């Protein structure tokens, strides 16, 4: 961008931030932003976090309005956990392709085939799927949740890569759905090997939504929050990062003296990037789009989320 255009954009953003502060006060709203959001959104959020932390914040807030900057299933989870709050999102087109890879009929069929299995569902799923679920999990607590359930058999939906990772850390037999995250699944062994050759002193940190053969190359494997924490505490000064590029915002904030190289230029979730500062201000102005979950679905789905929040 040219200097003049940059200056104009900075001025627009200043005005938008001022308007946002005013609206937040008027509506008694809090802004929750996932680490994969654009910097301009993370900058103005009351809480930044991974899926787990943001679900906890939504469940605990005393604000009247939750503005959820992430993808649709995250807004839905907030509404399910805080049914008396108004939950709005900047753009309802921000979906998660992985969440759409599992459907209720398919899951019911699997449940009928394995009547003794416990259904553990990754939070990246629709409210309807959560309503068919015994307990939810996020990438931060997936192993702990699977190991916490009774019985020897688990139906796992929808992420096959995270499912494979959990299977390495549990004796339970996992029946794994074939879904995946388009963004993380794109990272290949070749990408990582090339980066390792280019930055031989860097540690490779990787999200378990990546393919098993990529996860295997990790010096550290963990959820977005776990990766940020690990990088902050590690003695290493340089990292190759195997997760979505929005994570760079918090990585640089927490570890300003360290260098981060994203493992591929394709580690960008286009769905997360649908939201921007302008849409965030507009949604709070119009109080639209709002998340609605039919009460009969929400009541069942809430049990699976609350069970997850109770796992220590």
272 touches ligand SF4 (CB under 6 A)? yes
78 touches ligand SF4 (CB under 6 A)? no
268 touches ligand SF4 (CB under 6 A)? no
- Nearest-angstrom CA–CA distance, 174 and 164: 9
Lay out the site mask for ligand SF4 across 214-253 (x = CB under 6 A, - = otherwise): ------------------------------x---------
Interaction residues for ligand SF4, span 169-198 (CB under 6 A): 181-184
Helix (H) or strand (E) holding 112: helix 104-113
271 touches ligand SF4 (CB under 6 A)? yes
Q: What is the DSSP letter of 291?
A: P
Answer with the entry of ligand SF4, ligand 13P, none that 97 interacts with (C-beta below 5 to 8 A by kind): ligand SF4
Q: At its nearest, how many Å lie between ligand SF4 and the CB of residue 98?
A: 5
Tokens of 285: 């102005």
Beta carbons of 229 and 257 less than 8 angstroms apart: no
Answer with the entry of ligand 13P, ligand SF4, none that 271 interacts with (C-beta below 5 to 8 A by kind): ligand SF4
- Nearer to ligand SF4 (CB atom), residue 131 or residue 272: 272
Answer with the entry of ligand 13P, ligand SF4, none that 140 interacts with (C-beta below 5 to 8 A by kind): ligand 13P
Location of structure tokens 């649908």:
274
Answer with the entry of ligand SF4, ligand 13P, none that 149 interacts with (C-beta below 5 to 8 A by kind): none
- Nearest-angstrom CA–CA distance, 44 and 94: 19
The region of 41-49, 80-88, 227-235, 264-272 touching ligand SF4 under the rule CB under 6 A is 264-272
If you write DSSP's letter for every residue of 178-230 in order, what string do you get? -B--TTGGG--HHHHHHHHHH-TTPEEEE-TTS-HHHHTT-SEE--HHHHHHH
- Nearest-angstrom CA–CA distance, 62 and 52: 18
- Phi, psi angles (nearest 5°) of residue 178: -95, 30
Annotated binding site for iminosuccinate: 34, 51, 122-124, 139, 207-209, 224
Interaction residues for ligand SF4, span 124-143 (CB under 6 A): 124
32 touches ligand SF4 (CB under 6 A)? no
Q: At its nearest, how many Å lie between ligand SF4 and the CB of residue 51?
A: 8
Return the ∠ at Cα 279 (arms to 274 and 267), rounded to 5°.
Answer: 20
Q: At its nearest, how many Å lie between ligand SF4 and the CB of residue 275?
A: 11
Neighbouring residues of 44: CB distance < 8 A, sequence distance ≥ 6: 17, 20, 31, 277, 280
- Nearest-angstrom CA–CA distance, 238 and 263: 12
Near ligand SF4 by CB under 6 A: residue from 40, 97, 220, 290 = 97
Residues that bind ligand SF4 (CB under 6 A): 36, 71, 96-98, 124, 181-184, 244, 269, 271-272
């Amino acid at each position: 961008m040219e200097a003049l255009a940059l200056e104009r954009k900075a001025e627009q953003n200043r005005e938008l931030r001022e308007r946002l502060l005013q609206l937040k006060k008027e509506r008694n709203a809090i802004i929750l932003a996932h680490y994969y959001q654009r910097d301009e959104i993370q900058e103005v959020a009351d809480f930044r976090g991974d899926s787990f932390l943001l679900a906890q914040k939504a469940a605990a807030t005393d604000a009247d309005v939750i503005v959820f900057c992430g993808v649709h299933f995250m807004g839905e989870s907030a509404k399910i956990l805080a049914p008396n709050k108004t939950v709005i999102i900047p753009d309802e087109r921000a979906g998660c392709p992985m969440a759409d890879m599992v459907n209720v009929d398919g899951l019911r069929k699997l449940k009928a085939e394995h009547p003794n299995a416990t259904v553990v569902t990754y939070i990246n799923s629709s409210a309807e799927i959560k309503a068919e679920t015994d307990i939810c999990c996020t990438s931060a607590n997936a192993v702990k949740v699977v190991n916490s359930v009774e019985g020897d058999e688990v139906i796992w939906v929808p992420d096959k890569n995270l499912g494979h990772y959990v299977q390495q850390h549990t004796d339970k037999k996992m029946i794994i759905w074939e879904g995946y995250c388009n963004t993380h699944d794109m990272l290949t062994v070749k990408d990582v090997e090339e980066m390792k050759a280019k930055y031989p002193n860097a540690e490779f940190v990787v999200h378990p939504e990546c393919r098993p053969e990529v996860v295997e190359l990790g010096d550290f494997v963990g959820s977005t929050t776990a990766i940020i924490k690990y990088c902050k505490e590690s003695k290493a000064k340089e990292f190759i990062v195997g997760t979505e590029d929005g994570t760079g915002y918090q990585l640089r904030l927490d570890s300003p003296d360290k260098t981060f190289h994203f493992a591929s230029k394709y580690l960008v979730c286009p769905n997360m990037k649908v939201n921007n500062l302008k849409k965030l201000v507009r949604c709070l102005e119009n109080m639209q789009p709002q998340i609605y979950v039919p009460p009969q679905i929400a009541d069942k789905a809430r049990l699976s989320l609350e069970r997850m929040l109770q796992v220590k």
